[in-house]
Amino acid sequence: MIDISTVEYDVELLTEDGERYLLGGALLSLQWEEQKNELAQRATLTVANATIGDTDVRIMSVAKINCVILIYGRWGDTRELVFEGSIWEWQYTSSTRKQLSITAYDKLIRLQQSKDFKYYSAGMSTQAIIGDICGDWGIPLAYKWGRSMTHEKKVFSAERISDMIIGLLEEVRLNTGEKFIAYFRGGELQIVGYGMNKPIYRFDGENVTMTTDKLSINNLVTRVKIIGKQDDAGRVSVDAIVDGNTDYGVMQEIVRRDSNKTIEAAKAEADTILKERGKPEETTRITVPDLPFLRKGDKIEAAAGNLIGFFHVMGVAHIAAARQMTLTLERTPG
């Protein structure tokens, strides 16, 4: 049981000279988050341009682009590093209240911002390809997901590094029907399965501030057409058509197949697409007391409003001052 009243954050600045400063009372606001479809964590904070300790040095003069922000969560007797990232954006406002707004990202932001050309021959495993990509960028890889596959030939042409990695993992997900999560933790890119956390925390009506639940068919797929390799004239063969529930009408997706992908593998991808996108998409959010250690990919239990059961965390924003967090959730079997 976590006593929410004991949850606090310490924020430290590591300067380009290697000096460490606790921002302490100068910290005006703090939020750190990891969201769906984003590889890197982001922290946003506002600090008063105060002097540091007993010196005449003001925060603005040492909190420079590429300096490091470290966020530690504290609860009870536990103190844990929950965010480490570089200052990416810096804005100073001079008014009656002189303050500095900072946006920082962890090391994976460079994979989101950078592009490259890469070639991999057919038959390489998911872990081997991602390991090679991470090696080029000096990021250790911890591949803890119990799923992998051998891939067809891969040619990445001026693609974002993060898109290469996520694309490879998506192939495995479509082939196996199992979901993954990728994030930066402990100085390495970790790839794990969903819902691996223990214990699983429960949020009920007594500690839930707000819930929202939305249904949409914007992303609906009710039919998947599997097509073969393009011939010299530009024509393609239709190898199979896999239908789901077409009560909402036909909304069609395409799975491409070449000589390295069997029809069975293509049908497995189609089945996964229909399983995940074959019904109205539900977007669920819940605002609850903050647990600094709760991460994207974790499993929780909720019992509030119409949100009853188990959910995977697809995104989380920790709002330090309010001691709250907002979770984006996806329903999952217990």
Mean of the per-residue pLDDT values for the chain?
Answer: 90
3-state secondary structure of 172: helix
* pLDDT value at residue 2: 63
Q: What mean pLDDT do residues 142-162 have?
A: 93
Is it the case that residue 310 has pLDDT exceeding 90? yes
173 φ, ψ to 5°?
A: -60, -45
Residue reference for tokens 């900072």: 102
* pLDDT value at residue 107: 94
pLDDT in tens, 220-262: 999 999 999 888 888 888 999 999 999 999 999 999 987 777 8
Is it the case that residue 1 has pLDDT exceeding 60? no
Q: Which CATH number describes the domain made up of 110-193?
A: 3.55.50.10
- The lowest-confidence range among 77-86, 131-140, 215-224, 260-269 is 260-269
Query: Residue 209: pLDDT band by 50, 70, 90 thresholds?
Result: confident
DSSP state of 206: G
* pLDDT value at residue 25: 85
Domain covering 201-215+281-332, topology: Elongation Factor Tu (Ef-tu); domain 3 (2.40.30)
Q: What mean pLDDT do residues 185-189 have?
A: 92
* pLDDT value at residue 34: 94
Nearest Cα residue to 292 out of 87, 2, 47: 2
Burial of 240-262, coded b for 16+ CB within 10 Å and e otherwise, reads: eebebeeeeeebebebebeeebe
In the chain, where the domains are located: 4-106, 110-193, 201-215+281-332, 223-277
DSSP 5-55: GG-EEEEEEE-TTS-EEE-GGGEEEEEEEE-TT--S-EEEEEEE-PBPTTS
* pLDDT value at residue 334: 65
* pLDDT value at residue 257: 87
Q: Which CATH class is domain 4-106?
A: mainly beta
Q: What mean pLDDT do residues 285-309 have?
A: 90
* pLDDT value at residue 6: 82
39 φ, ψ to 5°?
A: -80, -40
Q: Are 329 and 312 in contact (CB under 8 A)?
A: yes
Is it the case that residue 47 has pLDDT exceeding 60? yes
Burial of 296-318, coded b for 16+ CB within 10 Å and e otherwise, reads: bbbbbebebeebeebbbbbbbbb
- The lowest-confidence range among 36-50, 104-118, 249-263 is 249-263
pLDDT in tens, 265-287: 899 989 999 988 999 988 889 99
Query: Residue 96: pLDDT band by 50, 70, 90 thresholds?
Result: low
More confident residue, 173 or 96: 173
The fraction of the chain above a pLDDT of 90, given in percent, is 63
Q: Parallel, antiparallel, or unpaired for β 180-185 and 115-120?
A: unpaired
Q: What mean pLDDT do residues 121-145 have?
A: 96
Question: What pTM was computed for the model?
Answer: 0.84
